[in-house]
Structure 1
């Protein structure tokens, strides 16, 4: 027999899931528009139209454009960090070279398959209001920390050999961000070009004998 408490909780749970799905759809729409026209070109009505909702409904979830942008950027960052963290966890018992290889490969997958908005929003940003500019800088630092910890570990162990890790890391992001522009998964079905990008990127940090597979 179902209790009255169970009957009241179930509809509430479904309603909450519906709200979460709708909110996620709005965030996805906002990211797509931001990556296309930037912060200045993004309008609430365009997000509402792409999400197939009324503008008033969008305001119910996000009281301002800046609130929506903040939520979208944080969601994107959290998802990217989750993917990188999972890739690193899967290689945690391996060498620093293999850990970095896993991170680079996953970052490239994020940029070309999962979230092509990342490169446009974070790598080649249009002007942002100060509050978002500072948030993006913080998000970049959170992102880079994952790579830097692996790089520093490889340097400490003697596995990596790069005179300036910070410069090498900037060069790495430059390689991956530009590769995401011309490297289309549909044109590289076997992943050979993607793998070549990963291996060449490793050369920024690793002695030649250490990257042999």
Structure 2
């Protein structure tokens, strides 16, 4: 009887911890690092502030958990979409990644944009964490771009410059493709951004888009 009871306790703890992380994510998105505090997290989660310390030692540990959770979720979604088109051309693969990234930023998880896509003031203690998050995210796109270059499918002169420009285009899309737009209009804009951004990698993308 002890093991099932222990398992149930662990599941409840995991659910509560995930709820706290979701609440902190919303607050970070709304107010940034400086504006987020544990009192608001506790109030929105409907628990005592002291209870938070059963799950996280303090604000920085909670924020680190938010960054890791968001990084993992976004990257998993990108990898899942990439897996669907892995047998297709590199151009189709990168277009699929771009479209999913835009969909995340402007539709399914707009809270990602204020934390990762726009210039944000993070304390020095988080600079390495944010850099690592962006490096892991970039690696998914970079893998496809470098494979496309090796296969002769892409002809951009500098992969690093192309990737920087590509991320810039995708991030900026979250500023004007608002979640409140009708789904049909959002889909049209997603396609337009993907078509335009694809041309940074290959002139052949212009005719394929």
Q: 1:40-75 CA distances to partner (integer Å, 9 max, x unpaired)? A: 111110111111111011111001111101111011
Counterpart for residue 151 of structure 1:
145
Cα deviation for residue 185 of structure 1 reads 4.5
Q: 1:166-190 CA distances to partner (integer Å, 9 max, x unpaired)? A: 1111111111111112113442422
TM score, norm. by length of structure 1:
0.91
Counterpart for residue 177 of structure 2:
183
Cα deviation for residue 207 of structure 1 reads 2.2
- Confirm whether residue 18 of structure 1 aligns to residue 21 of structure 2: no
Structure 2 contact 78–97 (Cα < 8 Å) conserved:
yes
- When structure 1 is superposed on structure 2, of 182-191 and 35-44 the one drifting more is 182-191
The 1:79/1:209 distance shift into structure 2, 3 A limit, reads closer
SS in 2 for 1:187: coil
- Confirm whether residue 198 of structure 1 aligns to residue 194 of structure 2: yes
- Cα distance in 2 for partners of 1:28, 1:125 equals 22
- Cα distance in 2 for partners of 1:20, 1:115 equals 21
Cα deviation for residue 126 of structure 1 reads 2.7
Counterpart for residue 3 of structure 1:
none
The 1:199/1:210 distance shift into structure 2, 3 A limit, reads closer
- Confirm whether residue 104 of structure 1 aligns to residue 101 of structure 2: no
What does 1:93-132 align with in structure 2 at a 5 Å threshold? 93-132=87-126
Structure 1 contact 199–211 (Cα < 8 Å) conserved:
no
Runs of 4+ aligned residues of structure 1 deviating over 4 Å after TM superposition are none
- Cα distance in 2 for partners of 1:161, 1:21 equals 47
- Confirm whether residue 164 of structure 1 aligns to residue 158 of structure 2: yes
Structure 1 counterpart of 2:2, from 3, 8, 14: 8
The structure with the largest alpha-carbon Rg is 1
For structure 2, list consecutive stretches of 5 or more residues without a partner in the other structure: none
Counterpart for residue 53 of structure 2:
59
Cα deviation for residue 209 of structure 1 reads 5.5
For structure 1, list consecutive stretches of 5 or more residues without a partner in the other structure: 1-6
Cα deviation for residue 199 of structure 1 reads 1.3
- Aligned-residue Cα RMSD (Å) equals 1.6
Structure 2 contact 105–113 (Cα < 8 Å) conserved:
yes
Structure 1 contact 97–211 (Cα < 8 Å) conserved:
no
- When structure 1 is superposed on structure 2, of 61-70 and 109-118 the one drifting more is 109-118
